[in-house]
Amino acid sequence: ITCPFHSSFPMAASLARVSSVPSTRSLPHVLYTEGHRQIQKSLSQLIEKEINPHVDEWERQSIFPAHTVFRKLGSLGVFGANKPTEYGGLGLDFSYSCAISETMGSIHCGAIPMAVSVQSDMSTPVLSLFGSESLKREFLLPSISGDLVSCIAVSEPEAGSDVAAIKTSARLNNGGDWVLNGQKMWITNGGQADWACVLANTNDSGNIHRNKSLFCVRLDSPGIHRSTSSIRKLGMHSSDTAEIFFDEVIVPAANLIGEEGRGFVYQMMQFQDERLVTVAVSLEPLQRCIDLTLDYTRERKCFGKPILDNQAVQFRLSELQAELESLRALLYRAVAERVLGSDVTLLASMAKLKCGRLSREITDCCLQYFGGYGFTWDCPITRMHRDLRLFSIGAGTDEMMLSIVSRHLMHK
């Protein structure tokens, strides 16, 4: 009987040809060009030189110097990849924002990438699209350069996933300006931010989706009070998370972003980009989590052999790697559709759902393989486990993502 893989068998020649084909690493990227790679390379160099050496200290201090770090990142165009060039942006498409966010994931904590994404993809997109010329000059331009730090003030103590339920209000006074009252909660960058993109109720129409507006609000305005210390969190320690209180705060009429009553719709638009960059940020730490576990289990012996020699461990890590690659593929498809101008609500929601679940699955499994060391505070897997747990909550909970996906399915 001739072995089907014998050299005389025709398939052998085919296999030989396959083995000579370049690896996928040398093939064109499905989304990124050489331009993307150059930006990623410059950013990676800055991260390794200026950020990662300080991460452990900033995590211990429960804060990082946002203004200092943001100016350095601003010099590379991190905050304005897809923003207009006339305001300091790079004028590129959203795929570059994705590439930047993916590279930001190489920072050795989740807090700083999260803080950066707030400024690049949460507080400024609607301002860039619908803000007046004067607002863009005052707030967008210095935010893109990193000279100003911003935050997005939407969530409240009783309104997180249910954005329409916010209570913060803005009413016109006799002088034609807005008077802002209310409280915002869980505000990333809230302690250090110079200004906030604030969502507030601005009319009594009764339509909870048409009675809200977005404003640019300077956080040194009279009547604004912030919590004196950052909210203590399970993870994301070096990101300051604040409560912000507005008490009869005068907001100039000119600080309204776009049309009055369109704030809810604008915010829903911002959410899609927020979810996509959240997924992009997750890819590097999840890959690092798997890689660190492979390295550790190769060296760590149990019952006289490396832990990785156990087929059960090999299979489980292989499953996780396959799941991570499927998440990457889903993200790239969603970003490609976004660049083409398609509505990516469904794809972004599915990717965000998978990201949240996979973040928990990978970090929990890898921590388990680290054994007792995985339960210590200084193990790198432990920080990932704590930080990435937020990805099932922030930017839309898993349950909200399921709600959005199921709503699309029911209307097919």
The catalytic residue positions are 274
CA distances from 113 to 66, 109, 312, 373 (A): 11, 8, 34, 26
In a 3-state reduction of DSSP, which class is residue 22? coil
CA-to-CA distance for 158 and 152, rounded, in angstroms? Answer: 17
CA-to-CA distance for 374 and 385, rounded, in angstroms? Answer: 10
CA-to-CA distance for 96 and 91, rounded, in angstroms? Answer: 10
Burial per residue of 279-314, b for 16 or more beta-carbon CB atoms within 10 angstroms, e otherwise: bbbbbbbbbbbbebbbebbeeeeeeeeebbeeeebe
In a 3-state reduction of DSSP, which class is residue 251? strand
Q: Give the type of residue at 122.
A: M
Neighbours of 14 (CB within 10 A): 10
Q: Are 123 and 143 in contact (CB under 8 A)?
A: yes
The tokens describing 342, both together, are 């398609």
Query: Strand 195-201 to strand 212-218: parallel, antiparallel, or no bridges (unpaired)?
Result: antiparallel
Q: Please name the helix (run of DSSP H) or strand (run of DSSP E) that holds residue 201, with its range, or none.
A: strand 195-201
Alpha-carbon Rg for the chain in angstroms: 24
Instruction: HSE, CB side, 13 Å, CA atoms: give it for residue 112.
Output: 30
